[in-house]
Amino acid sequence: MEKFVVRGGNKLFGEIEIQSAKNSVLPLIAASIIYEGKTYIEDCPKIYDVLVMMKIIEKLGGKAYFDKNTLVLDTEGVNDWNLPEDMTKEIRASLFTVGALLSRFGYASISAPGGCNIGSRPIDIHIDCLKDLGVNVYEGESFSFSKKTNNGGITKLRYKSVGATENAIMASVKSNGVTVIENVAKEPEIVDLQNYLNAIGGKISGAGSDRIVIEGVKKFNGKEVRFKPVKDRIEVGTFILAGAVCGGELRFKGESFENSSALIKIIEHNACKIYSKNGKIECVKFDGQTHGYGFVSVDPYPSFPTDLQPQLVAAASFSDGLTVVVDNVFKRRFGYTEQLKKTGADIAVYDNACVINGGKKLSSAEMIAGDLRGGAALIIQALGICGESTISGVRHIDRGYDGIEEKLHLLGADIHRIYY
Ligand code: EPZ
């Protein structure tokens, strides 16, 4: 077993090397199945969810391995469309292979996908839009998909689901017609997916807007593609919120200011001064949170992201005032607050709203991570409190952060991983 031991109270100073976005890399690994060739994903984080997706590629007949920080995927040998249950139950991203397998083979079979314990994770939006695009879906113990027609089509998502958007795009890349997908998610990671698929020979436009148009193609380019994904805006936000609590000064090499603008908007006038150049965050100086964050609504991109909601709630418990966070994306994503309350944080949850009364005296505690971003919130909490805290359940944190404790240690945090 492993846990983090944190002695909080240190300021954070230094430059952080941000990983490629987990939520870009995972759909890209799925998308590589469409293409019978080699894909090189640069600066790929060695996180648990990537390792599971690599195993899925190999189980389906492909090859996946790291060459230093580049993930190499060779999908020429992929010859199966039945996903292994033990792997699909582990991570939500396994669901994203359905669209890719439908484009490659016209078939896919998957058990109910797993994922972080952040509330129910239905797949009805995925199923509804694939049905609109000519896919037969058999729903039972597992889900089987088969393309009855392959002539494109029109679909409108009832909700801007990130995964359903990605699955619909991947299912439509190889077809005999044009596909239009309305009310799509607009995350930067979806723009990455569009750019990768166009690099292999797809004809996709509109990612980042409300409508995506895919002109189906029958074959793809060459035999290998190199791709550098967007940086992880959630990792950037996690470190910025840690800085808001600890104080100090952090530098982010060439990070995209635009992708973090929803966080920057609420934090800049409260906890820090942001120095940017040509739209890139150069440096963030933290001079202490002066007040609560007021009302923060969590909604699909470009609004404040649900994947930073737990980290914001932790930071708010150190601010001197009131913060109300309403999560309209995952309405039950507040389980981690029970752990924060062990430190004396004044937090109350009402349905999908969380009220934080900051400024209370907080003390170190033994906390247990139950999901990825909730775990990141516990780290921020422990960093801000003098005294020794521990965080177990580290495997949840390792799903999405590549060596977060080492990066924090390099910035001056007293945090260590111990085995027991
Ligand atoms: C992606 O999950 C991300 N995961 C999540 O990141 C992120 O929180 C989420 O998008 C929202 O931004 C990956 O990209 C691997 P959704 P996804 O479909 O696609 C409901 C992290 O911490 N819904 O946009 O599963 C759903 O229950 C992870 O990095 C349906 O009802 O999210 C949720 O309430 C966590 N039916 C809302 O929509 C469906 O068919 C948003 O889900 C699909 C979703």
CA of 163 from ligand 1 middle (Å) equals 6
pLDDT at site 92: 80
Distance CA 341, CA 372 (A): 18
pLDDT at site 90: 78
pLDDT at site 223: 80
CA of 56 from ligand 1 middle (Å) equals 20
- The response to whether residue 158 sits with its C-beta less than 6 Å from ligand 1 reads no
Count of alpha carbons within 13 angstroms of residue 242, beta-carbon side? 33
pTM above 0.75, yes or no: yes
Q: Establish whether the linkage from the previous residue to 302 is cis, with ω within 30° of 0.
A: yes
Distance CA 420, CA 418 (A): 7
pLDDT at site 84: 80
Pocket test of ligand 1: the residue of 116, 312, 329 to mutate, having most ligand atoms within 8 Å of its CB, is 329
Q: Using CA positions, which residue lies closest to atom 40 of ligand 1?
A: 123
pLDDT at site 263: 93
For the CA of 400, the closest atom of ligand 1 is 29
- The response to whether residue 159 sits with its C-beta less than 6 Å from ligand 1 reads yes
Distance CA 413, CA 405 (A): 8
Of 44, 32, 109, 104, which is closest to residue 73 (Cα–Cα)?
Answer: 32
Give the DSSP letter of residue 14. Answer: E
Neighbour tally for 230: CB within 10 Å = 19
- The response to whether residue 405 sits with its C-beta less than 6 Å from ligand 1 reads no
- The response to whether residue 329 sits with its C-beta less than 6 Å from ligand 1 reads yes
For the CA of 125, the closest atom of ligand 1 is 40
pLDDT at site 159: 97
CA of 386 from ligand 1 middle (Å) equals 35
Pocket test of ligand 1: the residue of 137, 159, 233 to mutate, having most ligand atoms within 8 Å of its CB, is 159
Distance CA 234, CA 401 (A): 10
Of 399, 397, 360, 361, which is closest to residue 380 (Cα–Cα)?
Answer: 397
Q: For the chain (length 420 residues), average pLDDT per consecutive 10?
A: 96 95 97 95 96 96 97 96 84 89 96 72 93 94 92 97 98 97 98 97 97 96 91 96 96 82 90 87 89 96 98 97 97 97 98 95 97 98 98 97 97 96
- The response to whether residue 48 sits with its C-beta less than 6 Å from ligand 1 reads no
